[in-house]
Structure 1
Amino acid sequence: MQIDPTHLAALSSILRLGSFDAAAGALHVTPSAISQRLKALEEQVGATLVLRSQPCQPTPLGARLAKHAEDVALLEAQALGDIARSGAAPARLTLAVPADSLATWLIPAFADAPEMLYDLRIDDQDTADDWLKRGAVSAAVTGHDRTVPGCDLHPLGAQRYVATASPDFMQRHFSNGVTAESLAKAPMLTFTLKDRLQSRWIMQKTGQALHPPSHQMPSTHAFVDATLMGLAWGMNPESLVREHLAQGQLIALDANEPMDVPLYWQVTRAMAGALTPLTDAIVRNGKKHLHPIGG
């Protein structure tokens, strides 16, 4: 089945911008033309592709076709090279990345490969590879060294975390030491329900699976702010709290127990050639900003 590229472009724009009117403006056509193109595409594939909500949402097939449209545009940009860059808009790339990587070292990598537009899906490094398995992204920063089928894997380095709390929090909750008993009672931070980092550190520290009270706070910088304000303790990227530790604004629960989380760049093999500049930038910045894996 051959799909009209203008129909795919209409679908992609509707889902990226959230409405038919916005898609029409981006593609310099009327909203009626956008509606007609989507209708023709839905009739061709025999299924609904867009849920007419505010904003518009994809059906599972709609999401897959929109991702296909992005891949085609990126491959065309690579094939045309300077011709594409001189006139066409940059190709769009959908990636799954952890919030902590985005807040610490990924932006410089993106800046080293500015020829693309980035559409990011934020997820825990332990589950980011699920996006690759569903075919929803072209590449991901994952916490697993198990290669997703159909992908290439590149080791990046380890993000180092330190269990930290404010001096006041340490006095209130750990005056008699950081023990299994005190950790079971002291409030901690979690990023989302998927976040197991604090629990893994507790197991590393005590050898026990504990279930302390916790705040759910899906923001890297809010984690730092919450620990500075004495709300709870949490696992913070070392690079974000190094100065706070040096100035005594934060204290490590155990300076001898950091936790290194290995990170890997996984890219779908079909897109690997087109993404070579980005892959090189990701690997280069990973080696620059992260700790050696196992080091």
Structure 2
Amino acid sequence: MEIAQLDALLAVVDEGSFDGAARVLHVTPSAVSQRIKALETSAGAVLVRRSRPVAATEVGSDYVRLARQVLAVVRESGLPGRTSGPGAAGDAGAGGDAGAGAPLARVPIAINGDSLNTWAMAALAEVADRAVFDVHREDQDHSAELLRSGEVMAAITTQAVPVQGCTAVRLGVMRYRPFATPAFARRWFPDGVTPEAIAVAPMVMFDRKDDLQDRYARAKAGRDVEPPRHYVPSTADYARAVVHGLGWGLLPHEHSDGPEAAGALVELEAGAHVDVELHWQQWSLRTPVLGAVARAVRRAAAAALLP
């Protein structure tokens, strides 16, 4: 395998097309195709599906992960690679900060929406002079899958057991409490959060992977319930949906403190909460930039999350 072939594989998968890969590699689409074909010949298997967007095959996912690891080491050693655009990679050296105009290491990372919207962005900002981030917003219960497929180098996840080839560190607990507007609470929960009320009161969901509200509802009803659901797949808009009275929802304190203080939201059940334990998983491969990102994430988590 040649570095150029591995670079082409990552570019095609990350950009979703041969034309996009050609743009970030500053070569022709034909050259990208030739490199992919040569790599597939060497591997003895088809590595990418020529679909829209282009995606790695099952075998190709293993090569994608290998390519990210090899290229991370190569580029942090100062050898040439992509230096600009969405596929930018490279580093100023094995351990020093990147200087003005120096290429930055590319770090694909999976972060759940609530962490991204509250505390995690500050962590990334700490090391923005050393890396460019390709952030995959993914539910914390599913982000480990992106590690397995090789799409990301690190992830904030609920999975404590390390994915094969990764290390895991506990970050802390993100706490969610049930809220609704005063008018919504009076209409749908006049006698409090009873099993009957929770089974019919409309709820706000982030997306179809989100099960926080279901966990709380199941605990209150003693069974699975299917109340009406609003899907609002944006963290900021999710909180606004609850504030506007579309339904009840579980919110972290960063999104509930202001509206609660202003009287726009009320807690449905005093002291009730759902805790989500978060972990940082990253490749066991050690590079200076990935290590710096991990330290920044741990510091930010220690300041923002419950122990």
TM-score, normalised to structure 2's length?
A: 0.85
| 225 and 55 in structure 1: CA distance in 2 versus 1, 3 angstrom threshold | same
CA distance in 2, matches of 1:12, 1:39: 14
Which range moved further: 277-286 or 44-53? 44-53
For each residue in 1:62-98, what CA deviation from the matched residue of structure 2 results, as whole angstroms up to 9, or x when unmatched? Answer: 3332332222222233334634746763232222221
Equivalent residue of 1:192, what SS?
A: coil
Deviation at 1:287, TM superposition (A): 0.6
Q: Does 1:256 align with 2:271?
A: yes
Match of 2:133 in 1: 118
Asked whether the 8 Å contact 1:75–1:274 carries over to 2, the reply is no
1:96-135 equivalent positions in 2, closer than 5 A: 96-114=110-128, 115-135=130-150
Asked whether the 8 Å contact 2:92–2:104 carries over to 1, the reply is no
1:10-89 equivalent positions in 2, closer than 5 A: 10-80=8-78, 82-83=92-93, 85=98, 89=103
| 242 and 138 in structure 1: CA distance in 2 versus 1, 3 angstrom threshold | same
Superposed CA RMSD: 2.4
Paired AA for residue 44 in structure 1: S
CA distance in 1, matches of 2:103, 2:231: 39
Asked whether the 8 Å contact 1:17–1:23 carries over to 2, the reply is yes
Asked whether the 8 Å contact 1:71–1:271 carries over to 2, the reply is no
1:93-172 equivalent positions in 2, closer than 5 A: 93-114=107-128, 115-172=130-187
CA distance in 2, matches of 1:134, 1:32: 26
CA distance in 2, matches of 1:205, 1:272: 46
Match of 1:211 in 2: 226
CA distance in 1, matches of 2:142, 2:22: 35
Identity %: 39
Asked whether the 8 Å contact 2:92–2:103 carries over to 1, the reply is no
Alignment partner for residue 92 of structure 1, among 98, 101, 106? 106
TM-score, normalised to structure 1's length?
A: 0.88
Match of 2:82 in 1: none
Paired AA for residue 297 in structure 2: I
Deviation at 1:207, TM superposition (A): 4.7
Asked whether the 8 Å contact 2:64–2:150 carries over to 1, the reply is no
Deviation at 1:281, TM superposition (A): 0.3
Match of 1:184 in 2: 199
Asked whether the 8 Å contact 1:73–1:91 carries over to 2, the reply is no
Paired AA for residue 70 in structure 1: R
Q: Which has the higher helix share?
A: 1
Which range moved further: 105-114 or 62-71? 62-71
Deviation at 1:130, TM superposition (A): 3.1
Asked whether the 8 Å contact 2:110–2:136 carries over to 1, the reply is yes
Asked whether the 8 Å contact 1:223–1:236 carries over to 2, the reply is no
Asked whether the 8 Å contact 1:20–1:31 carries over to 2, the reply is yes
